[in-house]
Amino acid sequence: MGVLVMKGRDNLRNHMVYADNAATTKMSPAAIKAMLPYMETIWGNPSSLYGAGQRAAEALQSARERIAACFGASAGEIYFTSGGSEADNQAIISAAKIGERKGKKHIISSAFEHHAVLHTLKKLEKAGFEIELLDVHENGLIHPSQVADAIREDTCLVTIMYANNEIGSIQPIVEIGAICKEKGVLFHTDAVQAAGHLPIHVVEQNIDMLSLSAHKFHGPKGIGVLYARKGIPLTNIIEGGAQERGKRGGTENVPAILGMATALEEACAHMEENTKMVLKLRNRLIEGLSKIPHSVLNGDLEKRLPGNVNFCFEGIEGESLLLLLDDKGICASSGSACTSGSLDPSHVLLAIGRPHEVAHGSLRLSLCEENTEEEVEYILQSVPDIVEYLRGISPLWKDKVKGKRAFLLPE
Amino acid sequence: MGVLVMKGRDNLRNHMVYADNAATTKMSPAAIKAMLPYMETIWGNPSSLYGAGQRAAEALQSARERIAACFGASAGEIYFTSGGSEADNQAIISAAKIGERKGKKHIISSAFEHHAVLHTLKKLEKAGFEIELLDVHENGLIHPSQVADAIREDTCLVTIMYANNEIGSIQPIVEIGAICKEKGVLFHTDAVQAAGHLPIHVVEQNIDMLSLSAHKFHGPKGIGVLYARKGIPLTNIIEGGAQERGKRGGTENVPAILGMATALEEACAHMEENTKMVLKLRNRLIEGLSKIPHSVLNGDLEKRLPGNVNFCFEGIEGESLLLLLDDKGICASSGSACTSGSLDPSHVLLAIGRPHEVAHGSLRLSLCEENTEEEVEYILQSVPDIVEYLRGISPLWKDKVKGKRAFLLPE
Amino acid sequence: MALYSEKVMDHFRHPRNVGSIENADGIGEVGNAKCGDIMKIYLKIDNDIVTDVKFETFGCGSAIASSSMATELIKGKPVSEVLQLTNKAVTEALDGLPAHKLHCSVLAEEAIQAAINDYKSKQKIRAVGSLAKAEESK
Amino acid sequence: MALYSEKVMDHFRHPRNVGSIENADGIGEVGNAKCGDIMKIYLKIDNDIVTDVKFETFGCGSAIASSSMATELIKGKPVSEVLQLTNKAVTEALDGLPAHKLHCSVLAEEAIQAAINDYKSKQKIRAVGSLAKAEESK
Ligand SMILES: Cc1ncc(COP(=O)(O)O)c(C=O)c1O
Ligand SMILES: Cc1ncc(COP(=O)(O)O)c(C=O)c1O
């Protein structure tokens, strides 16, 4: 029976527990500070000849170098974009154009990529490309051998994300990169969730192209990077001036680029200690939530982003769970249908084989180094109560308890 | 003979005279202030369900409404982009796709559009569209009858800029819009130089699509708007999430959007008084520079952006002029070859019929309401000296003076 | 301009008539295949008046709020009136729903119709039963 | 990482050897059709040594700086050495030029070659002239 167990936020009543860092992050004060001079005093257009413009151009170049250094690239391989989506779009379109010129129109990707990748691939499919989406194992991983088996004579691109945004599983990038390199196929990775959180080295990891987005590592929104190895000709998706070596028109967003460089350096410099802290919190969360009956952790336990927790709770619908968590001040997300205007359950959870009903009841908590043990304990108090309450008012759950319907997840 | 007349910056020695507001503007303090809360505290993702995300979503919606109100549009017709270039690209690609579906592949534009427009049109030409670039009259204007004459059964788009970025000439938008409306052809205008500086009303002016960029009216860089009249189906150029009603993927750049809304409102609220101030400065500049022998004002004197001054000086090369102005603390620009990596003279000046040699020697001074009379007088002291000096070391000039070569511009 | 109106949030947070009715006179259960929501309505009907109503719902915030509001709207009403309940009435009583959530109010309408249908067919059976009994006693 | 090196800016701001030479022994004028730059070099040559050099240039910052630097490099040098001046030497002496400005240094090289060629052909004419005179006086 449904008894409303909502008790308010207890000791954290007026405190917001932000556990949705995979959606976006709070800006680092250092990154904000890095932006302000370029908003207030050095506002010149970097394409301008005069000193005030050239100072902006110099700042831009230094940001390019600092960012490149964070993952073993060189400054000339960094293209600034308006974010991860644009970088994904441009990488894929560029590789497709290169392939097309050689008569190669087969592209390999995976079923659980971000929509910036999947929708671009769909567009290419309509334009006559053959898109092969690899299955993802139940643990959220793709095996390098799947890539090796799928590559054909006419494959022009393999695009596999570095780490999944919903379930946090980290793909075997080095191995996939090595296979692509050996077979002479371009390899792109959407590293939007990985950059600033996992060590990346484009040369050692055989990455030809890589996308990142600053707001996922405490940098500003609206700015990202497409890394493209020297010699890979990019196709413009935004035509215009000679900016970004002619590959991306539009006056450069100097303040945001400087903010991004600072945030990325900061994230990379503190990666080890942040990972340690976040891992501890994450593991405690996973341990605690695992105790809820008929629940399952999504994504591999080991090969997993340090801050990612993702569970399915049988008999629960994600949106209700999120709204009740919000009432307790907890910001979380769900792969749920209802969150985004689409009614379909998360394509990621379906890709790892969760049945529709179970996929609807997911909860993603994504942590960062600013989260505390107290917050984690508060989450661990709150989630089980809400799950129990929602199950209590669910006709589905009642049927299961009575044995009229089968449980899909073990107790 | 070449005598170096450079005397330093006189009374404005340590003061920067920024006269390149058409390239980019200094951010308004109010716009910066409008951004900060969304960088520091309300950083949530507007697609998120919880309060912290919904507060960002509400801010986004209010910015959309405020921006729409500035030019007679409704909030549902505003699409946020990463700037003017992206908006231009998307408008043109969208109209082309609509046309293609109906078998209409003829596009009318002008020879002196921004490269964001021209390069997109070139891309469409390669894809089988027929692009007709209207000639521009010597005064920098297109006549509505040219548009009327050029429209055919298979015309799918007319795209003519609101005001030219180099020579400031303001096109007869109402009339062109009326012709397009009557003939049932989509009309897009690149209003990047006009927004915030000239009154715009999309309904009264019969504008179907319009592009603008915030950093041209004291707003932030990296953010712009594509207005598309209700019912015009847009084609994504950035695929991804469901943001911007599915027409532009990527986490919304909330701080920049709020900054843009504030800057636009500010610009529109003070348009009349700003115009008055800037016009006075501009007219003084034009009057003063006209005294330089063998010079010509580019662009119409009446139908002209309030802040725009653009001259050609015979026997002068633009870059040298800009560098020497920079030495005096004056930030200006040129359509000159050498400023941008390309060696060709400005396509705009060629379009209005300036010979190559003359087109090389152009100077654009673009003012805003923060410029002062003192600055204008300082510019009027500096430019003639530099022009004289550079002519003095020019073999070309000497030949002209000696009558060995003809002057191209009257004394 | 929050995602949901105050009314929706109130009915979501404090849903009225949650639960089930033992020996209900009518039960309706409907589901939306696409979004996965399921609603179950229990009716107690005396003299063609809905004297009690309970619901159980598996679904999003607006599904729960729609169930709650719909049950409030029909409580104490004659069956004939209940049959006229539309999803529009539910939505309006909630001060509106986002466009992509309107199907939740449809689900509530359908669940109630299903429960009334169940009540009617049960009545018919009972009627047939008592008819049979009457025949017998003849 | 400014657009131009300090050296370029110095030679642009304070160009050496600006001007012309009356009765120069060699004059070279070259132009780049695309960017429109024009350079004119005047040489005074005594005993096959460049004793004076002046230039006039219509062009961008690097064109003026290249002219200035090139004239400095050949001043006091024998003609044979001057003929070996390359655009690379000019660029290096300027601590480099942006890639799209290298053609300015090429222009400087060409202008100097043209001036030397002019000097040589004038010399030939003079030689022929004196030969003729010698013939006459015979
Ligand atoms: C007329 C015109 N259109 C388009 C643009 C492109 O705007 P943005 O650089 O913000 O993309 C500019 C300015 O650069 C412009 O002046
Ligand atoms: C894996 C992944 N790829 C791409 C993106 C798109 O990034 P942005 O929203 O900054 O364009 C995101 C985040 O939204 C993401 O998580």
ipTM of the complex: 0.92
pLDDT tier for residue C10 given thresholds of 50, 70 and 90: very high
Radius of gyration of chain D (CA): 16
Atom of ligand 2 nearest to the CA of B240: 6
pLDDT (average), residues C59-88:
95
Task: Look at B356 and B150; give whichever has higher pLDDT.
Answer: B150
Distance CA B380, CA B385 (A): 9
- Is B312's Cβ below 8 Å from some Cβ in D? no
Residue whose token pair is 């002068």: B316
Q: What pairing do the DSSP bridges indicate for beta strands A17-18 and A106-110?
A: unpaired
- pLDDT confidence of A123, banded at 50, 70, 90? very high
- How many whole angstroms separate alpha carbon C45 and alpha carbon A315? 30
Residue B54, min C-alpha distance to chain C (Å): 6
- Spell B120-155 as b/e; 16+ CB within 10 A means b: bbebbeeeebebebbebeebbbbbbebbeebbeeeb
The verdict on A401 touching C (C-beta cutoff 8 Å) is no
Q: If pLDDT is split at 50, 70 and 90, which confidence band does A153 have? A: very high
Listed by start position, the domains of chain D span: 6-136
Q: What percent of chain B has pLDDT over 90?
A: 86
**Chain B interface includes D38 (CB < 8 A):** yes
| Cβ B82 under 6 angstroms from ligand 2 | no
Beta strands across the sheet bearing A130-134 = A78-81, A224-228, A209-213, A186-190, A155-159, A106-110, A130-134
Does A54 sit within 8 Å of D3, measured CB to CB? Answer: yes
- The pTM score is 0.93
pLDDT at position A329 is 95
Q: CA A133 to CA A108: how far, in whole Å?
A: 6
Max alpha carbon distance in chain B (Å)?
A: 78
Work out the percent of chain C whose per-residue pLDDT is above 70.
91
Q: D3 to chain A: nearest residue by CA?
A: A54
Which of the other chains make 3 or more beta carbon contacts under 8 angstroms with chain C? A, B
Please indicate if the annotation marks B213 as binding a ligand: yes
Residues A78, A71: Cα–Cα separation, whole Å: 11
Residues B156-193 have pLDDT tens digits of 999 999 999 999 999 999 999 999 999 999 999 999 99
CA dist., res. C9 & res. A76, Å (int) = 52
Of A79-83, A324-328, D130-134, the one with minimum mean pLDDT is: D130-134
- Contact (Cβ atoms closer than 8 angstroms) between residue D28 and residue D114: yes
Cβ B336 vs Cβ B318: under 8 Å: yes
Q: Is the pLDDT of residue A230 over 60?
A: yes
Handedness of CA A217, A219, A220, A226 (dihedral sign): negative
D and C touching (3 or more beta-carbon pairs closer than 8 Å)? no
3-class SS string, chain A: CCCCCCCCCHHHCCCCEECECCCCCCCCHHHHHHHHHHHHCCCCCCCCCCHHHHHHHHHHHHHHHHHHHCCCCCHHHEEEECCHHHHHHHHHHHHHHHHHHCCCCEEEEECCCCHHHHHHHHHHHHCCCEEEEECCCCCCCCCHHHHHHHCCCCEEEEECCCECCCCCEECCHHHHHHHHHHHCCEEEEECCCCCCCCCCCCCCCCCCEEEEEHHHCCCCCCCEEEEECCCCCCCCCCCCCCCHHHCCCCCCCHHHHHHHHHHHHHHHHCHHHHHHHHHHHHHHHHHHHHCCCCEEECCCCCCECCCEEEEEECCCCHHHHHHHHHHCCEECECCCHHHCCCCCCCHHHHHCCCCHHHHCCEEEEECCCCCCHHHHHHHHHHHHHHHHHHHHCCHHHHHHHCCCCCCCCCC
Tell me: pLDDT of D133 over 60. yes
Our answer to whether residue D35 is catalytic in this structure is yes
Nearest CA in chain D to B316: D58
Tell me the pLDDT tens digit for each residue of B30-65.
999 999 999 999 999 998 888 889 999 999 999 999
Distance CA D117, CA D26 (A): 8
Give me the pLDDT at residue A291, please. 97
Touching subunits of D (3+ CB pairs, under 8 Å) are A, B
Angstrom CA distances, A151 to A113, A161, A183, B278, C103, stand at 18, 17, 8, 63, 44
DSSP, res B244: G
Q: Phi and psi for A163 in degrees, rounded to 5? A: -145, 140
Distance between start and end Cα atoms, chain A: 20
Q: What angle do CA A92, A97, A102 make, to 5 degrees?
A: 125
Residue type (1 letter), B150: A
pLDDT at B236 over 50: yes
Assign 3-class secondary structure to C117-131.
HHHHHHHHHHHHHHH
Q: A211 - beta bridge partners?
A: A190, A226
Work out the mean pLDDT of chain B and round it to a whole number.
93
Which residue do the tokens 């460049």 mark? D50
The domains of chain B, with CATH numbers, are: 12-27+271-401 (3.90.1150.10), 29-34+78-251 (3.40.640.10)
Tell me: pLDDT of A63 over 50.
yes
Which residues from chain B sit within 8 angstroms of residue A241, using beta carbons?
85, 115-116, 340
Cβ of A250 less than 6 Å from ligand 1 = yes
Average predicted confidence (pLDDT) for chain D: 90
For A115, A334, B386, the CA distances from A324, given in Å and listed in that order, are 27, 13, 70
Q: Please check the confidence at residue A116 and state whether its pLDDT lies above 70.
A: yes
Q: Tell me what pLDDT residue B5 has.
A: 43
Nearest Cα to Cα of residue A107 among A91, A117, A96, A116: A96
Distance A20 CA to ligand 2 centre (A): 13
Could you tell me the CA-to-CA distances from B80 to A115, B38, B87, B116, B332 in Å, in that order?
Answer: 19, 16, 8, 17, 30
Q: What percent of chain A is predicted at pLDDT more than 70?
A: 94
Q: Residue A388: phi, psi to the nearest 5?
A: -65, -45
Which residue in C35, C38, C49, C83 is the catalytic one? C35
What pLDDT score was predicted for residue B94? 98
**Confidence at residue A242, expressed as pLDDT on a 0 to 100 scale:** 86
The whole-number average pLDDT for the span A354-382 is 94
Q: How confident is the model at residue B6 (pLDDT cuts 50, 70, 90)?
A: very low
Segment A162-194, tens digit of pLDDT:
999 999 999 999 999 999 999 999 999 999 999
Contacts of B58 in chain C (CB under 8 A): 1-2
Residue A312 appears among annotated catalytic residues: no
- CB contact at 8 A, B88 and B190: yes
Domain C6-136 coded CATH 3.90.1010.10: yes
CA of A75 to the centre of ligand 1 (A): 25
How far is it, in rounded angstroms, from Cα D16 to Cα D13?
9
Residue B336 confidence (pLDDT): 55
CB A338 within 8 A of CB A317: yes
pLDDT tens for residues A188-200? 999 999 999 999 9
Cα(A400)–Cα(A218) distance, rounded to whole angstroms?
Answer: 43
Tens of pLDDT, residue by residue over A375-384, are 999 999 999 9
Number of neighbouring beta carbons within 10 Å of residue B31 = 26
Does residue C106 belong to the interface with chain A, where contact is any CB pair within 8 Å? Answer: no
What distance in Å separates residue A92's CA from the closest CA in chain C? 31
pLDDT category of residue A342 using cuts at 50, 70 and 90 = low
Decide: B22 and A52 in contact? Cβ < 8 Å: no
pLDDT digits (tens, 9 = 90+) for D20-67: 999 999 999 998 767 788 999 999 999 999 999 999 999 999 999 999
Q: Do D3 and A49 make contact, defined as CB atoms within 8 angstroms?
A: yes
Q: Give residue A14's pLDDT band: very low, low, confident or very high (50, 70, 90).
A: low
- Using an 8 Å CB-CB cutoff, list chain C residues near B49: 3
Nearest CA in chain A to C99: A341
Q: Which of A70, A156, A331, A338 is catalytic?
A: A338
Which pLDDT tens digit goes with each residue over B317-370?
999 999 999 999 999 998 654 555 566 788 999 999 999 889 888 999 999 999
The answer to whether residues A22 and B47 touch, using CB atoms and an 8 Å cutoff, is no
**Residue B171, annotated as binding a ligand:** no
